[in-house]
Structure formats: structure tokens, C-alpha cells
Amino acid sequence: MALDSDLATLALRTRALSLTVCTTGSATLAATATGYTRLSGSFITDGFRAGMDVVSSGFSTSANNMTGVVTGVTALTLTVSPYVVTTNADGSITVARPATVVEASASGRTIAAKLPSRRAWELVQFTPATGIPYVTEQYVPGGGAVMLTAPYAGGLAEELGMYVLTWYGLSGSGTSAIRKSIDALKALFAPGTTLTVGTDRLTVRGAVGPSAGSIITQDGGFAACALTISWRAETTNAIAA
Amino acid sequence: MAFSDDLKMFTVKVQARNQAVFTGVIAETLNSIVFGSPLTGSPGQPIADIDGGNLRASWQAGLGGPDSTPGYGSPRWESNTVAVIGTMCVYAKSNEDGIARPGGGAYRLLASTGGRWSVRNTINGFQRIVNQVTRDLTGAE
């Protein structure tokens, strides 16, 4: 049978969701009214850049376990703008901007930049929020199955398709946040990466490897960069009796 | 007939077939981008009643050297470049990936009726084009 496109989309999406652009790992961190601080190590060396979407965890005060946008980075200070986006019944969104609160330094805390928490999955209603990065996806089905072996019935069929992730970062923050994020995503879908799709396999192609476009300024304070992931899937050709 | 004559005839036949494959591939590649192709999965460029057919009609293929390529200022000709397929249409890129560009617009509406990822799908499936054109010329199934 042909590749299950729904399962393939989910497999690719799941892979993208496992992205970690950069992280402090489990570290000793404190919270302030404007973000986080540390006494050792470096947020810059860890890879954080202004414009990144980050998630924090391990703090005792719930307000400090947040999702937010990095607005400033030094070695020992990470300035963030937390946000909470609520989708209303009519599809509109409400954006709250709670602040972090002062909390003394302790170990076992983590801040990480991952796939933006705001994701516009295909055909799911989505409204961008000003100042908050987001990502869109597009699954492009394979360009026709080709029989690789005879006999046709039960033989090996191949499909070639694409999965496109477009990263909408913030214009005005420089290119680093978007570039580092796209590079991390490209590494996550390195040629040869194999995903299980039902009983079939989907492999990221090497002959036409993942490629990122240039960063294009958009309306609303965003800048877009698309990563195109070309894949190949092998399925068993089914001939109707 | 001498062996050298047979060799020359074989060489001419191979050259003729190579030339036929070459021109066939160029034609099929352009066709894939502009009109779509089941070989590559390319949807083709938008239908004419969306933008008056401007984008669809703008694609051209140029063979030979830079001087013979119509409509292009300074294409990136490298030592192994034998043909160029491209467009001067300002909104072609946005129609390809759906990302808005200054002066070009997002053209998401255009993309929904065909045109999104035509170039990329054609690139991805280029080997299939070559294989099919070769098969057609050899008469193989």
C-alpha cells in the first residue's frame, strides 16, 4: 500500500518537536524580575540569543517556570519576556505577559530553547502573536511511487516528498536566533535520519539534503526562514486483484 | 567496413542519443516546473485566470553559454553549466514557498491552485526525469 501520509506527517512533526536548539542543562540558576541569572557558566556559550523562544523548569515558584522570548543575553544574565497565549472560542487570541519573580539560586533548574511553543500545524487554526516566534509546517506528498523491482505486485515502491518547516522569528533581533535554530533543526533531520511510519520507513534524503532559505522580513515584525527536508519512503506496492 | 568506421558510427549514435537525452531532459524539466509532472509531483505554476498567466509564461530554458540565455542578467554560470531554466517574474519565489517578499507578495492564494514547490519538487525528482527520458528513447518499459 502507499505511504500513510497522515502517519508520515505525525512522524516528521514528532521529530521536529524533539528539537533542542540550546540548553543550560540542569544548572544552578536564580530568577529575577526580568529573567534569570547564574554565577558560573555562560548563557552565551550555551547558545542563547536574543529572539529565541525558551522554556524554563525546576523553579519552586510557578511564575518562574515559564515560556518566554529572550530579549537580552550576557554570560551571566538572561533577560526574558514571558508570555501566555490563550485561544478564544472565536479563534482570536489573548496574550498575557506575566513577569518572573525573584527566587534565590538553586540547582536542578533548566532553561532551553526548543521548537517555538506556538506552532501552526497544517490546517489547524492559528493566529500569530506580535513579538512571539512561531513555526509552520507543510507536508508535501511524494511525487509518484516508482516501481523499483518486478514483479509489480508486492514489489518495492518508492515515494519522494518533502516536509517544510518555516520558522517565523523576530525581525530586529538580528539573524542569530533564527540561524542557530534552523541549523539545529537541520542537524535534527540530517541525511539518513530514518523514521518509522506504520510498517514503512521514511528516510531523509542525502542526494537532495535539507536546505534552508534566506531570512525574509515579513509584516508584523516577523522574519521567515524555511527549512525544506526532502525524504524518501519505501513501501510495498499493492496491486488490486 | 573497417573497425574504425564502426567505432565512428557508434560514437555518432551515442552522441546523437546523448543529445536527444539532453534536450529531452531540459524539455521535461521545464514542463515539470511550468505545467506539473507526475514524475516529480510538481503541481506546476498557477493557472492563467489567477494572475493572467504571467508567472506560467515567464519560465524559459536557455541552452549553451551565458550569452545565449534569454532574459537573464548574470546567471551563475559555472564550468559545468550547460543549461539554465528560470524566470524573471518577481513573485516566483513567493509563489514557490509561500513566504512574502518585498514587492512580491505572499501569493498564498496562488499557491493553493498550483505553483507551490514546483521547482523544489522538480529538483527532487530530477533523476526520475532523466530515467524516464532515457527509457523513452530506448523504448524500454
Per residue in A87-104, pLDDT (tens digit) is 998 889 999 999 999 999
What torsion do the CA atoms of A167, A168, A173, A175 make, to the nearest 10 degrees? Answer: 30
Provide the percentage of residues in chain A whose pLDDT is more than 70. 95
Chain A residues within 8 A of B40 when measuring between CB atoms: 143-144
When pLDDT is cut at 50, 70 and 90, the band that residue A153 belongs to is confident
Mean pLDDT of chain B: 77
Could you report how far apart the first and last alpha carbons of chain A are, in Å?
13
Report the DSSP pairing between strands A67-73 and A35-37: unpaired
Q: Please state, in angstroms and as integers, the Cα–Cα distance from residue A71 to each residue in A2, A115, B12, following that order.
A: 46, 17, 67
For an interface test with B, the pick among A137, A159, A162, A229 (most B C-beta atoms closer than 10 Å) comes out as: A162
The stretch B107-116 carries a mean pLDDT of 61
pLDDT in the model for residue A110: 98
DSSP letter assigned to residue B46: P
Instruction: Please judge whether A216 and B125 are an interchain contact, meaning their C-beta atoms are less than 8 angstroms apart.
Output: no
- Mind giving me the DSSP string for A57-123? E--SSGGGS-EEEEEEE-SSEEEEEE-EEEE-TTS-EEEE-PPP--EEEEEEEEEEEES-S-EE-TT
Model confidence at A179, pLDDT cuts 50, 70, 90, reads very high
The whole-chain average pLDDT of chain A stands at: 93
Residue A163 and residue B112: Cα distance in Å, rounded? 17
* A124-150 average pLDDT score: 85
List beta partners, residue A47: none
For chain A, what percent of residues have pLDDT higher than 90? 81
Question: Is residue B77 scored above 50 in pLDDT?
Answer: no
CA distance B56 to chain A (A): 20
Which of the pair, B3 or B29, is modelled with greater confidence? B29
Burial zone of A88 (CB within 10 Å; 0-12 exposed, 13-18 middle, 19+ buried): exposed
Q: Which residues of B touch A207 (CB under 8 A)?
A: 127
Q: Is the pLDDT of residue B50 over 80?
A: no
- Alpha-carbon distances, residue A45 vs A37, A75, B95 (angstroms): 14, 7, 39
Report the residue of chain A nearest B43, measured CA to CA.
A143
Query: In this predicted structure, what is the pLDDT of residue A52?
Result: 97
Q: Considering only CB atoms, which chain A residues are within 8 Å of B128? A: 143-144, 146, 160
Statement: residue A22 has pLDDT above 90: yes
Compute the nearest-CA separation of B41 from chain A (Å). 3
Residue A64 has pLDDT above 90, yes or no: yes
* A78-88 pLDDT per residue, tens: 999 999 999 99
